[in-house]
Amino acid sequence: MSNALSVVVVGAGNMGGAMLARLRDLAWTVGVHDTDAQAQAKAVAEGALPFASPLQAVRSLAPDGVMLIAVVDAAQTEAVLWGAGGAGGDLKPGQTVMLCPTLGPKTVQDQAERLAQRGVDCMDAPMSGGPLRARQGSMSLMVACSEPVWQRSQDLLQALSQQVFRVGVRAGDGARTKLVNNLLAAVNLAGAAEALALAERLGLEPAVTLSVIEASSGQSWIGSDRMRRALVGDFEPRAHVSLLAKDTGLAISAADEVAYDPPLGRLARDLFAQAMAQGWDQLDDAALFQLMRQR
């Protein structure tokens, strides 16, 4: 298996494609599969080796290789591993599945248990920071895995990011950390959109107000990133409204499971649900500014 791949990426969209490009920048040989022909073609243009299915991709994976899954949600993850043309049945002991989507903790635990039955390791490794930071290697990775998996994955993790956090060994702890982060991101984004909509209604120049906020106590990374785009009407999706709508729902479900009531989180979830009801699911989540403008 001299031509076996050390890593294959399944899901080459905004984040998966950026991580793949980062690896190619560092001269890694990478396999790719994406059901979207345009995403697949873009990955091939970056130098990735294309495969028609996750099953075909994993058949070219090295005995100690990593299948990096960067799809959108639990249903797509299930399809990649156990659906028609899925990789699960051909994964071998010694190989690792790296789960990068934002998933519920129970979903991660269930997938890890199913993989363990085949002797396959699972690395719970959601990501945050957006495509630009993923391409630069400065996004954050929240990793939960066993010590052996952690040790043998260092080359890949360090190639992907300069901000790798080991958050535990329990499958699902990466997901829990990501949901906590994304709930706060949603609250911060909703607050930034609300504040700038109020500034506009008060007759202020919102771009100037945002500059003041960025140098003052109200600053947040997501507020600056999204509102700068929103103020010029740029809602081309980098992170779709549907993603934070999904993630806030998962975070509230996780909170419910431990009998914790997060009032600001529930408000943020409801606001993203309202944005979805407007038909904005495929817009950038900066579109929350438009929702606040309507109030």
211-245 pLDDT per residue, tens? 999 999 999 999 999 999 999 999 999 889 999 99
* Cβ–Cβ < 8 Å for 78, 17: no
In the chain, list all ranges with CATH 1.10.1040.10.
Answer: 177-293
Q: Which CATH code is given to the segment(s) 5-171?
A: 3.40.50.720
3-class secondary-structure state, position 35 = coil
pLDDT number for residue 4: 77
CA-nearest of 100, 91, 94, 167 to 131 is: 100
- Strands (E) in 52-173, as ranges, are 61-69, 96-99, 121-124, 127-128, 140-144, 163-168
Ramachandran area for residue 50 (φ above 0: left; ψ -120 to 50: alpha; else beta)? beta
Residues contacting residue 286 through CB under 8 Å, at least 6 positions apart? 226, 227, 229, 230, 234, 235
pLDDT number for residue 3: 61
pLDDT number for residue 190: 98
**8-state DSSP, 81:** H
CB atoms within 10 A of CB 38: 10
Radius of gyration of the chain from its Cα atoms, rounded to whole angstroms: 20
Whole-angstrom Cα distance, residue 183 to residue 188? 9
**Phi first, then psi: what are they for 86, rounded to 5°?**
-75, 160
pLDDT number for residue 2: 42
Ranges of residues in the chain with a pLDDT under 50 are 1-2
* Amino acid symbol at 78: E
pLDDT number for residue 1: 38
* Cβ–Cβ < 8 Å for 178, 102: yes
pLDDT number for residue 143: 98
The predicted-structure confidence for 27-42, as pLDDT tens digits, reads as follows 999 999 999 999 999 9
CA-nearest of 153, 154, 158, 102 to 127 is: 102
pLDDT number for residue 210: 98
Residues contacting residue 143 through CB under 8 Å, at least 6 positions apart? 123, 124, 125, 150, 157, 164, 165, 166, 167, 174
Question: Between the CA of residue 178 and those of 143, 171, 182, 261, what are the distances in Å?
Answer: 10, 13, 6, 18
Q: Which CATH superfamily is domain 177-293 in?
A: N-(1-d-carboxylethyl)-l-norvaline Dehydrogenase; domain 2 (1.10.1040.10)
CB atoms within 10 A of CB 247: 25
3-class secondary-structure state, position 124 = strand
In the chain, list all ranges with CATH 3.40.50.720.
Answer: 5-171
